[in-house]
């Protein structure tokens, strides 16, 4: 099968960035002391970029948004089986901003970070596996 090289490159780039974000989350969680807010930001970014890779491959237009509810709805339009997973991942949306700036917000817990990391990894692998091997990093 012949694939558009520009599309392959774009989707591969999104996936590579998603993998980098998941790795950054893992490194932040294992730092001494852990940098949990940064880890949660990278978990959100992992999901966002994985969904954008999936959407790009499927010719779905998406805007410049960090909203995982909006992106997830577009992905579910392509593949309704994704709905339960992306519904769970939607909760990570707030991590795009929640711990990025100073304020009166409680620090995240290690359990919160572990849960977000597990969901982010699950979304990345699940969406990546729905794409042809040629686009995978």
d(CA 52, CA 13): 10
Residue ranges of domains in the chain: 5-129
Position 105 scores a pLDDT of: 83
Position 1 scores a pLDDT of: 73
Identify the segments of the chain with pLDDT beneath 50. none
Position 101 scores a pLDDT of: 85
Q: pTM (2 decimals)?
A: 0.96
Position 102 scores a pLDDT of: 84
CATH of the domain spanning 5-129: 1.20.120.330
């Amino acid at each position: 099968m012949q694939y558009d090289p520009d599309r392959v490159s774009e989707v591969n780039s999104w996936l590579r960035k998603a993998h980098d974000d998941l790795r950054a989350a893992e490194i932040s969680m294992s730092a001494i002391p852990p940098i949990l807010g940064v880890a949660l930001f990278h978990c959100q970014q992992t999901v966002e970029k994985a969904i954008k890779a999936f959407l790009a491959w499927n010719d779905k237009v998406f805007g410049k948004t960090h909203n995982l509810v909006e992106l997830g709805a577009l992905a579910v339009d392509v593949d309704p089986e994704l709905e339960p997973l992306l519904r769970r991942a939607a909760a990570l949306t707030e991590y795009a901003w929640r711990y990025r700036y100073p304020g009166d917000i409680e620090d995240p817990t290690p359990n919160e970070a572990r849960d977000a990391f597990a969901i982010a990894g699950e979304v990345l692998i699940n969406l990546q596996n729905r794409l042809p091997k040629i686009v995978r990093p």
